[in-house]
Every structure is written in structure tokens, then in C-alpha cells.
Amino acid sequence: MSPAPLTLDRFILEEQKSFPGSTGELSLLLMRLGVAGKRIANALARAGLTGALGVAGSENVQGEEQKKLDVLANEILLETFDYGGLVTLAASEEMEEPFVYRGSLDQGRYAVLFDPMDGSSNIDCNGTLGTIFSIRHRRDGTVRDLLRSGREQVAAGYVLFGPAVILVYTSGEGVHLFTLDPAIGEFLLTRRDLRMPERGKGYAVNEGRSHRWPPAVRAFVERLKTPEPGSGRVYSTRYSASMVADVHRFLLEGGIYLYPGDGKSADRDGGGKLRVLYECHPLAFVVEHAGGRASTGTAKVLDVSPETLHERMPLAIGSRAEVDLFDQFVARG
Ligand code: P6P
């Protein structure tokens, strides 16, 4: 008999054995994120048929226009943790304050943070986008539980909605990739212990905003576009308007994603667009556990403890060689 497929649930339960004394609650959370990913994938695939494309007529906390699927994906994720008493707090790009699960205040040991639809400008044009998630320990059950170092994350990952639906996560013991088999409705393990190439051949940045970048960042991007002496090697541009899609490409192929600060924002290191807690921290957690790096230019992303829930930071994330080079350019100024 052919071996049973290694489903997400089976993999998680088998991995759990290496955590003696584990309560199994984190395993349950990760399995539930798989279910949420399947529900969001279904809503995305059918959006054009169900009138779920387009804008919701509201704005998020950043003043960005919300798409209907931003709102729906957020609702699906909130529902996902609204039973079983596992989670006390949920925070999202789509909500000004954390959602408190009243029934779990005295028992929920975890807090979950998410960007429900990262790259939602790609929804109506059928582009690739994803849901980013981060799991932390609950402490006193307030927002203070969330304003902590990225290294305190218990697990992080994303669901990527492209030609295939995939789920990538790490709980600190390797980065693992699962591909949804629509025939059986299960995520199946397709890559175990992913390692990011030490060096890449692509870069992703919105060069239409280069007039806002600090000179050092402009110099770095020009360096990537300059043929290498001898080999003539240059990098290729690979910007999709969805950070999670670009970072996933570089996780497999090597390369660097940049969203520089404009040097003016009051946020850390001149701010930028990307949020620390539910975009930068979780992707940095995945990338670092796969051997890559994530930097603001002056600090490691995972070392940063934000002061506010929706704080932003400039971001350079990807292969060690390219992020190291970026930091060298920023250090030179
Ligand atoms: P711009 C999506 O809104 C996002 O947060 C990232 O996923 C993406 O890389 C970036 O913003 C796109 O922003 O300014 O290039 O449109």
C-alpha cells in the first residue's frame, strides 16, 4: 500500500512529539490556520462569481481603502480562534485595537496577529497574494503582550494564494511547505526544512517610489542593476505588489525584497509602509529560520520591539548576501 499522504495535521502532531510536555494547543492553532487558509482560498477563487471583488467602502487603520475580501478574510480569521479557549487576543491590519476573546480571558494562552490579505491590490486582477500570521504567548491579556521582540514569536508563517494554495510555517524547528490538494481538501507536505539560498538573482522593490528613498538605498539598488565586472551578472526585477509572494519567491530562489523608509516618518528608522507586528516580524521569523536575514538597515527586524500596535518599519529581507550588502550601503550613508 502506498504511504499515506503527510497531511498538515499529521505532520504537526508528529512534530509535536519533539516537544515533550506539549499541551498540543499550538498544534491545534496551526491546524486551524490551515482551515482558515482553505476558507479564504475558496472565497478568493469564487470572488468573481459571488460579487466579492472590489472595495468594501471602508478604510483600515492606515487609511487604506479596504477590499471586500480584506474584511471577509479578517472575519474568517477571527472566527477561527473564537472557540476552544486557546486564544485571548487577535490583532490585525484591519482592526484599530486587538480583538479580545472574552470567553478566553482567563484561559487563552496565545495571541494571534495577522495581515489577512497581504497584497489585496492584486485581488481584482487575479494576482498572487497571501495571509500572514504570527503566534505569540498571552501574558496579561492586553496589547502589551504584542509590543515585544519578534524573537518571542512561538510560530509564524503564511498562506499563499497563487496557481496553487500553499502554507508555509515554522515553530522554530525548520521551515516547512505544504501544498493544498483540492481533490481531498488537505495541505500535504511538499518541502521540509526549507533553506534560503545564500545569494540570489532577483530583487523586489517599487522603483516608482525611488524619489522618496534615502540616497544609500538608491545606491544599493543601482548596484544590483550594475553588471558585475567579469561575469556581467545583473539582478532581475521581481516585484509583484504582494510582499508575501515576493518573499516566498526569494525563500526558494534567493534574492531580496525591499520596502525602504522615506526618511521622514516618525516611525522607526524613517518608517515605511510595512507593519512590524503582522508583516515584518512573521516573515522575518520564517526567513531567519531558513537561513536568510531581515533588517531595517540599522537593526535586525526580529530584535525590534514596537511601541505601538501598527508601527511600521523599513524592510530589507531575503538572502544573507544581499541583505548584508544592503546594510553595508546604509552604514556608509
Ligand atoms: P506599493 C501590500 O499592500 C504591501 O503591504 C506589500 O505586500 C507590498 O509589497 C506593498 O504593500 C506594495 O506597496 O507602495 O508598492 O503599492
Domain 202-332, architecture per CATH = 3-Layer(aba) Sandwich (3.40)
**pLDDT tens-place string over residues 277-332:** 999 999 999 999 999 999 999 999 999 999 999 999 999 999 999 999 999 999 99
Rounded (5°) CA angle 258-250-155: 90
The dotted CATH code for 8-191 is: 3.30.540.10
Mutate to test the pocket of ligand 1, among 259, 265, 279, 283 (most ligand atoms within 8 A of CB): 259
Q: What is the pLDDT of residue 312?
A: 94
Q: Is 35 in the pocket of ligand 1 (CB under 6 A)?
A: no
Tell me how far the alpha carbon of residue 47 lies from the centroid of ligand 1, in angstroms: 21
**pLDDT tens-place string over residues 79-95:** 999 998 999 999 999 99
Domain with CATH 3.40.190.80 in the chain: 202-332
For 203, the 3-state DSSP assignment is strand
Q: Is 128 in the pocket of ligand 1 (CB under 6 A)?
A: no
Q: What is the pLDDT of residue 267?
A: 60
Which H or E element spans position 67? Answer: strand 65-67
**pLDDT tens-place string over residues 68-81:** 999 999 999 999 99
Phi, psi of 301 (to 5 degrees): -55, -45
Q: Is 242 in the pocket of ligand 1 (CB under 6 A)?
A: yes
Whether 113 contacts 93, CB under 8 Å: no
Distance CA 131, CA 162 (A): 12
Q: Is 292 in the pocket of ligand 1 (CB under 6 A)?
A: no
CA distances from 54 to 121, 122, 126, 299 (A): 9, 11, 12, 38
For the record, the C-alpha cell of 158 comes out as: 503564511
User: Shortest CA distance to 263 belongs to which of 294, 296, 308?
Assistant: 296
Q: Is 243 in the pocket of ligand 1 (CB under 6 A)?
A: yes
Sequence-ordered list of residues with C-beta below 8 angstroms from that of 22, at least 6 positions apart, any chain: 16
Q: pLDDT tier at 160 (50, 70, 90 boundaries)?
A: very high
Instruction: Give CA 281 to chain center in angstroms.
Output: 8
Tell me how far the alpha carbon of residue 119 lies from the centroid of ligand 1, in angstroms: 6
Share of the chain above pLDDT 70, in %: 97
Rounded (5°) CA angle 117-118-120: 65
265 pLDDT more than 90 = no
Mutate to test the pocket of ligand 1, among 61, 207, 242, 265 (most ligand atoms within 8 A of CB): 242
Whether 47 contacts 69, CB under 8 Å: yes
For 157, the 3-state DSSP assignment is strand
Nearest CA to ligand 1 atom 12: 241
Q: Ligand 1, closest atom to CA 257?
A: 9
Tell me how far the alpha carbon of residue 269 lies from the centroid of ligand 1, in angstroms: 18
User: Shortest CA distance to 117 belongs to which of 185, 68, 170?
Assistant: 68
Whether 258 contacts 315, CB under 8 Å: yes
Q: What is the pLDDT of residue 106?
A: 77
Q: What is the pTM of this model?
A: 0.96
For 202, the 3-state DSSP assignment is strand
Distance CA 294, CA 21 (A): 32
Whether 210 contacts 320, CB under 8 Å: no
Q: Ligand 1, closest atom to CA 244?
A: 7
Domain with CATH 3.30.540.10 in the chain: 8-191
For the record, the C-alpha cell of 323 comes out as: 541583505
Q: pLDDT tier at 271 (50, 70, 90 boundaries)?
A: low
